[in-house]
Structure 1
Amino acid sequence: MKKIIVYSILFLSFFSGSLSAQKKNKDAVYQNPKASTEKRIADLLLRMTVEEKVGQISTPLGWPMYEKTGNTVAVSEAFKKTLKEEFTGMLWATLRADPWTKKTLLNGLNPELAAKATNAIQKYAMEQSRLGIPILLAEECPHGHMAIGATVFPTSLGQASTWNPMLIEKMAAAIGEETRLQGGHIGYGPVLDLAREPRWSRVEETYGEDPWLISKMGVAMVKGFQGTDLKSGYNVVSTLKHFAAYGAPEGGHNGGSISVGLRGLNQFYLPPIKAAVDAGALSVMTAYNSIDGIPCTANPYLLKELLIKEWKFKGFSISDLGSISGLYNNHYVAANAEGAAALAINAGLDADLSGYGFGKSLVSAVKSGKVQQAVLDTAVSRVLRVKFSMGLFEKPFVDPSEALAKVRNAEKVNLAAQVARESLILLKNKNAVLPLNKNIKKLAVIGPNADNVYNQLGDYTAPQDQGNVITVLQGIKNKLGNATQIMYAKGCDVRDTSSNDIEAAVALAREADAAVVVLGGSSARDFKTEYQESGAANVKQSEEKLSDMESGEGFDRSTLDMLGNQMKLLSELKKTGKPIILVLIMGRPLNLNYAAENIDAILNAWYPGQGGGTAIADVLFGDYNPSGRLPISFPKSVGQLPVYYNVMASLRRPYLEGDAKPLYSFGFGLSYTTFKYSGLKVGKSNTAAGGITVEFDVKNTGNVAGEEVPQLYIGHKNASVVMPVQELKGFTKVLLKVGEKKHLTINVKAEDLKIYNAAMQWVNEGELNIMVGPSSDDIALSAQLK
């Protein structure tokens, strides 16, 4: 009780600080909550200098802006200097902790201290700035708030593998709540890039290779983040990444150029962004790449014509970190920093993530006439509109006690495990080796990812307190208790080959009744890694001992083979003759040819987050029937790339060395039961929106209950332009008891069937081939619709 009273006193003291800031301008319209937002913006703009306006749309790095001493936290001298000299209106990643920021469990902030830190920043800004404007705090939130003590969910590939937008919306609401309770206002995410190049280092951050699935997941994230009331104190603004076409760079090089025409851009790459904008997203981040020679950070077609004019976007756009500077030091389309700032804002970019892309350079560009005042005012008004919409002028502070109680509480920990369960994809199950019997006497658990906390979490993850993360080994131990003898050996590292204990691992497997082998990759950053200004890692091919990191921003690949001695370990274990269950923890599709041919069972987990070990154990021992489906195809070799399922209609001959088909196709995933499809009926919708209605039956024909994911694909016939052979246009997830049959209906709007034709217009035309089945390469039912 005493502790709550202390918190209340502190909270009230912060609130009084807000009042003192407002008293300096108490009669100003912008300080009147009863005035309309537009009148408040107009009044505030009239009072601001050019320097103050530029400060509002500049976003310096946030983590240097506080100082922690024991259990107290205050603003740093760096923040005081930044506010005084740059009139800062936004900060990014204030609460971020990782090897790049050099914030650890010792010098970083737990949720309670994080709330105190953001309160201190707000209090100082509102009291010490001339106009008392609150700070807008943006945080990284792709699979959890990237802050110490926050809940870690599966990365985006895992989220997409659930094929359950309702679950993802619930997850996003939890992430948004944790972020807002600690003082954050903007959550960077979701990443809506169409991932058509698995060599690219950031595939793990995406929802895969299909625009429709990405759109559904993106909309779920936006709704979960933003809720219905941004003044609730539990929601954050969603920043969509990356605008646009970032996920298929030439050669897989992160930030590299992309070859795509205007029609292809509109038909395939932009719909997920538009869907999220239509859902109300209030922030969009540009991409590092160029499209047809125009950098996305200074592309008026994207930022003005599409985003504002056609899509009626109501929020603000922001650069990716350092991408404005990249206009002159990477793309070479500007002569200097001032020219880059002018090029970007004149193209329609509103805000700068870095603090130096705009800053003094933009002030100079305005004063020299390269940027008109009206252009600057438009950009500033869009940022201020978000601040007023969130109620920050009236309620800039948060309650540290609420952050302490609700961040990573039991409900969110359980939710993380549930998302992980639904994300797991059973790729192979020869002779029904899974699920394993819980009465198994001896079980070997082997591999570099079997008991490695950070390898399980993916990129954009903060340091973890001991016990926060359940590894595969711990999850199995928790499941089986002491009745089973569980033997563990690491076997090898993910990348390093300087040492291994393969022989010891093989010896354990020979003793055991079965072996669970956990291999794959890692995005775990370490303190030896060097980082670029953008936060991407600098890759080292040789050093005394290689880190496990082979995925995550900056770690592009030229092959998709498992690295280090992992394949040697797997092949030696195969020789024991014991049942081998391969569990994959990784950030991109890897070469599974050997495993697909030789290993008994394969369970794909991507990066399953803090509850991954619990979820994997539940599936391995039959307490959960796997329901995950692939959001991206697995190639047989890099020579097949691109190998995404929705290729343009054309003649695809086999290669000399083999066919052109993927090893595992988009939508694929096995179950411990079987399903039968029947009774397809297709008709035109009677609704005002038009479109089509597809009805069919699905029956559980196996021996256990399970969830099926029926998928609806279309193919265009007699269209005026070449279209993909298949396009996902609907799906559902249904739980069926043994012997149960359900009648399902999927409605597709006419808008979602449109083609971007040769005249660059959206039209409905041609005949449709309707396909329904459990995956893109397993169509159970089909029909034609004219």
Structure 2
Amino acid sequence: MKKNIKTIFCLVSVISIFNTKVFAQSKTNIPLYKNSKMPVESRIKDLLSRMTVEEKVGQISMPLGWPMYSKSGDNVEVSETFKKSLREEYTGMLWATLRADPWTKKTLVTGLNPELAAKATNAIQKYAVENTRLGIPILLSEECPHGHMAIGTTVFPTSIGQGSTFNPELIKKMATVIAEETRLQGGHVGYGPVLDLAREPRWSRVEETYGEDHVLNSRMGEAMVQGFQGNNLKSGVNVVATLKHFAAYGAPEGGHNGGSINVGLRSLNQFYLPPFKASVKAGALSVMTAYNSIDGIPCSSNEFLLNDLLRKEWNFKGFVVSDLNSISGLKANHHIADNAAEAAALSINAGLDADLSGIGYGKALRDAIKAGKVSIKTLDTAVSRVLRIKFNMGLFENPYVNPETAKLKVRDTQKIALARQVARESIILLKNQHQTLPLSKTLKNIAVIGPNADNIYNQIGDYTAPQQEENIVTVLKGIKNKLSAETKINYVKGCGIRDTSSGNIDEAVSIAKKSDAVVIVLGGSSARDFKTEYIETGAAKIKTADKALSDMESGEGYDRSTLDLLGDQLKLLKAVVKTGKPVVLVLIKGRPLNLNWASENVPAIIDAWYPGQEGGNAIADVIFGDYNPAGRLPISVPKSVGQLPVYYNARFPEKHDYLEIDAKPLYSFGYGLSYTTFDYQNLKIEYKADKPIVNVSFDLKNSGSFDGEEVVQLYLKSKTSSVVLPSKQLKQFRRIFLKAGEQKTLNFILNKDDLEIYNNKMKWVVEPGTYQLMVSSSSDNIRLEGQFVINKNSFSVEN
């Protein structure tokens, strides 16, 4: 009897606890997963337990977002396409909902301004929460490499220009602005930074990278992640950073976008992966796979990259997303899958969580699960990684944004000023013979010539939305803003970027002869137009037989076989230089171009890459001396495509000359001039074995007559090592402002991360030996050098 009483008591207790939980839940009418006071992991587990397979698959399928709203005047609501997607596919994520460009067919008329964008995302969230069984909010991902790719946002220089600043703190400020503008309009995930090493300038996407060096890329990647994500994803102004493209995407064979990469495991670890590793350590919560394969394994089904390295070794805590259609590409492009279900299984089993396309998973993944090719456990793991972001961003509690705030704070005056500052710091002075620059503001006549002198879309690069003309300051407009009405400014386009059928070179020469100085603006363009065709991934489709050529010669899909100035640009330049007038060549472009003739014959050359919306003002600031340029090349400029690859940190043995030319680039990584001069003195190197660290100090003096900035670069090479290393490798850098005549003592600390290599045992170690330290103003201009010795076991090595 006592035993029965005890059993009854236990049953009553269990029932009481159960009833209490049920009562508490029914009283508030809130399921556990919607209770914000519960731990996130408990909420994920509860929500997963309630979901069907179809609902789970929908959570990790991300269709294109721009068809998901309908606009009529100032009214915006969800579209029938979205309702169908939610009803049939249980969609949980969208990509590029607010994107506008010729590919999406969203214009200034059919697209959304910031206020309407906020209303559109609110409508999407409201419909998803109120019209689905579980009320799960939508995770919205947006393109954000140099500004949110939406109408009315701030447009910064493209990433190659950002890399030229050598100023991570400035880039962090920029990323903070991009994140705020994205989040205020309802976006949650920002695609960027792009961390590919650009070791192939023929490749179409060089402009999207920070250049050829992994240390520079690492510091820029960390800055972007910190600026995007901040310290609180529930802040309402931060977004999740997505690292692109994992991995080794930027050096394809022949420069073909998405082509195969031939790289060994050691090179992969020593050069291509460190920017991703550093950015993951900085807290990045999303990674995008690359289109390419590495040693025969596509990145979107590479278990070593996605599970072994990213999660187990680097302790990555976020989710992995495919690039657009890269899961389907396992069948269509790489030919390693027989059908869509097999491609889906290969990807998710390798650790790829979310499908950017809506067709890579979806039905294909459901079929793979039914066939037993994917386990429910694997599916739950992927879904939980996406849900974790939604919970940690507070989307279940508040999925909405304030349209009025978006209207007021997107692209305000402070953000525009920052765009100008990033543009100024990105500008590189390549040549300044006889102090041609800065030009005097008192000149009576100035000729402004060239296809990029007054073209807003050629100035802002790929991944940019349509712009209101008054928002973009071209070079011509910047010069007009800078000078008084007393200066006569004459403008002639002269020629197109590629088109040779409608040039007016004679007219350009005529105004040059009448002027006191000439500013000629040449280069390239990533400007998409509505005539261009695009493949399913959004890359442009080249048409070589077009009679009326667009300017586009760079940007995704526009790989090149030469690096020459196209069309009649060189012809125009030669004709203008022949007038004998002082000529300033300004380059606006997305990749290194052949500057051999210009380097020999043009007195002043400025490289501005794609400088963004304030580029014209920034360039005018430099030309007329209101800003002393200090940008540095983040990628080497070759003399010929026959030299490629020509990156500065190639491994030993050092390259020998060719029959026709030497092996050196025209301009090396880290190169850039100033209107002032800097002296380096008193190098001191102190190796502290007990720390263990290497202290480096030296004096830097502005010995010229202009205030200005110097970009100090520390390079290292070891006398001997267990594996073949580069002849020199950048380790640290710093951008320093000094007034004319000012001197400062600079201090640097080299630690284990700066000194370790991936050795012959495939381990990260600091090897004993003699090291040569080079303090430089560019990779080929050593100003101070010294040595230090590391004895055996001085550094503790942990793998």
Task: Confirm or deny that 1:506 pairs with 2:504.
Answer: no
Question: What are the within-5 Å matches in structure 2 for residues 266-415 of structure 1?
Answer: 266-415=269-418
- Residue 714 of structure 1 aligns with an amino acid whose one-letter code is L
Structure 2 match to 1:13: none
Deviation at 1:25, TM superposition (A): 9.4
User: Is residue 190 of structure 2 the alignment partner of residue 187 of structure 1?
Assistant: yes
Q: Which of 662, 680, 684 is the matching residue for 2:665?
A: 662
| Aligned residue identity for 2:505 | I
Structure 1 residue 511 displacement after superposition:
0.3
Q: Per the alignment, in what secondary structure is the counterpart of residue 709 of structure 1?
A: strand
Does residue 79 of structure 1 match 2:52? no
The Cα of 1:751 is off from its aligned counterpart by 2.1
Partner of 2:200: 197
Partner of 1:561: 564
> Letter of the aligned partner of 1:42 in structure 2?
K
Residue 767 of structure 1 deviates from its aligned partner by 2.4
Contact 1:584 1:605 in 2 (8 A): yes
CA distance in 2, matches of 1:322, 1:682: 52
Q: Secondary structure at the match of 1:710?
A: strand
Shift of 1:694: 1.2
1:236 aligns with 2:230: no
The residue type equivalent to 1:383 in the other structure is V
C-alpha deviation, 1:685, in angstroms: 4.6
- Number of the residue aligned with 2:59: 56
Aligned to 2:682: 679
Give the match for residue 550 of structure 2.
547
Aligned to 1:596: 599
Match of 2:477, SS state, is helix
TM-score, normalised on structure 1? 0.96
Amino acid at match of 2:742: E
1:749 matched to 2:756? The reply is: no
Contact 2:456 2:469 in 1 (8 A): no
Question: Distance between the aligned counterparts of 1:170 and 1:728, measured in 2?
Answer: 24
2-structure distance, mates of 1:544, 1:177: 43
CA distance in 1, matches of 2:755, 2:542: 43
Using the TM superposition, name which of 298-307 and 27-36 deviates more: 27-36
Match of 1:173 in 2: 176
**What is the rounded CA distance, in whole Å, between the counterparts of 1:396 and 1:616 in structure 2?**
41
Q: Which amino acid aligns with 1:757?
A: N
Shift of 1:174: 0.1
Q: Distance in 1 between matches of 2:752 and 2:29?
A: 52
CA deviation digits over 1:567-595, x for unaligned, max 9? 00000011100011000000000000000
Q: CA deviation at 1:485?
A: 0.3
- 1 CA distance for matches of 2:332 and 2:722? 42
How far apart, in 1, do the equivalents of 2:654 and 2:700 lie? 33
Letter in 1 for 2:275: P
Cα distance in 2 for partners of 1:586, 1:186 equals: 28
State, as a whole percentage, how many aligned pairs show the same letter.
69
- State the shift of 1:122 in Å: 0.1
Listed one character per residue, the Cα deviations across residues 521-568 of structure 1 (whole Å, up to 9, x for unaligned) are 000000000000000000011212000000000000000000000000
Return the letter of the residue paired with 1:691. I
What letter is aligned with 2:441?
K
Contact 2:321 2:355 in 1 (8 A): yes
Q: CA deviation at 1:27?
A: 3.2
Partner residue, 1:717: 719
The one-character-per-residue Cα deviations of 1:673-703 (angstroms, maximum 9, x if unpaired) are 0001111111225785x33221111111111
Q: Does 1:437 align with 2:440?
A: yes
Deviation string, structure 1 residues 593-627 (Cα, Å, up to 9, x no partner): 00000001000000000000000000000000001
Name the CA distance, whole Å, in 2 between partners of 1:562 and 1:26: 67
Write the distance in 2 (CA, Å) between the matches of 1:211 and 1:608.
Answer: 23
Who is 1:694 aligned against? 696
What letter corresponds to residue 607 of structure 1 in structure 2?
Y
1:89 and 2:92 are equivalent in the alignment: yes
Q: Is the 8 A contact 1:25 1:131 kept in 2?
A: no
- Write out aligned runs for 1:112-123 (5 A): 112-123=115-126
CA contact (8 A) 1:719 1:767 kept: no
What does the per-residue CA deviation read over 1:408-459, in whole Å, with 9 as the maximum and x for residues that have no partner?
0000000000000000000000000000000001000000000000000000
1:466 to partner: Cα distance: 2.3
SS of 2:62's equivalent in the other structure is strand
User: Is the alpha carbon distance of 1:767 and 1:126 closer, same or farther for their aligned partners in structure 2, counting shifts above 3 Å?
Assistant: same
1:460 equivalent in structure 2 = 463
Spell out, residue by residue over 1:55-81, the C-alpha distance to the aligned partner (whole angstroms, 9 max, x if none): 000100000000000101000000000
**For the residues of structure 2 that align with 1:23 and 1:50, how far apart are their CA atoms?**
26
Q: Structure 1's 25 and 662: CA in aligned 2 closer, same or farther, altered over 3 A?
A: farther
Larger Rg: 2
In the TM superposition, residue 758 of structure 1 has moved relative to its aligned partner by: 1.4
- Length-normalised TM-score, structure 2: 0.95
Change (3 A) 1:468 1:646: same
**What corresponds to 1:5 in structure 2?**
none
- Structure 1 runs not aligned, ≥5 long: 1-21
> Using the alignment, how far apart are the partners of 1:278 and 1:556 within structure 2?
33
Structure 2 residue corresponding to 1:758, chosen from 752, 757, 760? 760
| Cα drift, residue 739 of structure 1 | 1.1
Match of 1:262 in 2: 265
Give structure 2 stretches of 5+ with no counterpart: 1-24, 790-799
Whichever residue aligns with residue 741 of structure 1, its letter is Q
Deviation, structure 1 residue 759: 1.1
What stretches of structure 1 move > 3 A for 4+ residues in a row?
22-27, 685-688
Counterpart contact for 2:577–2:602, Cα < 8 Å: yes
Residue 755 of structure 2 aligns to which amino acid in structure 1?
Answer: L
2:163 matches 1:156 = no
Structure 2 residue identity aligned to 1:64: P
Q: 1:686 to 1:176 in 2, by over 3 A?
A: farther
Tell me the amino acid that sits aligned with residue 250 of structure 1: E
Q: Which residue in 1 is equivalent to 2:580? A: 577
| Secondary structure at the counterpart of residue 747 of structure 1 | strand
Q: What letter is aligned with 1:455?
A: N
The answer as to whether partners of 1:160 and 1:208 remain within 8 angstroms in 2 is: yes
Shift of the alpha carbon at 1:111? Answer: 0.1
293 and 452 in structure 1: CA distance in 2 versus 1, 3 angstrom threshold: same
- Asked whether the equivalents of residues 162 and 171 of structure 2 are also in contact (C-alpha less than 8 Å), the reply is yes
Q: Is the 8 A contact 2:246 2:289 kept in 1?
A: yes
The one-letter amino acid paired with 1:728 is L
The one-letter code of the counterpart of 2:731 is K
Distance in 1 between residues matched to 2:734 and 2:512, nearest whole Å: 40
Query: What does residue 18 of structure 2 align with?
Result: none
Q: Retained in 1: the 8 A contact 2:654–2:727? A: no
CA distance in 1, matches of 2:688, 2:81: 61
- Equivalent AA in structure 1 for residue 121 of structure 2: T
Secondary structure of 1:602's aligned partner: strand
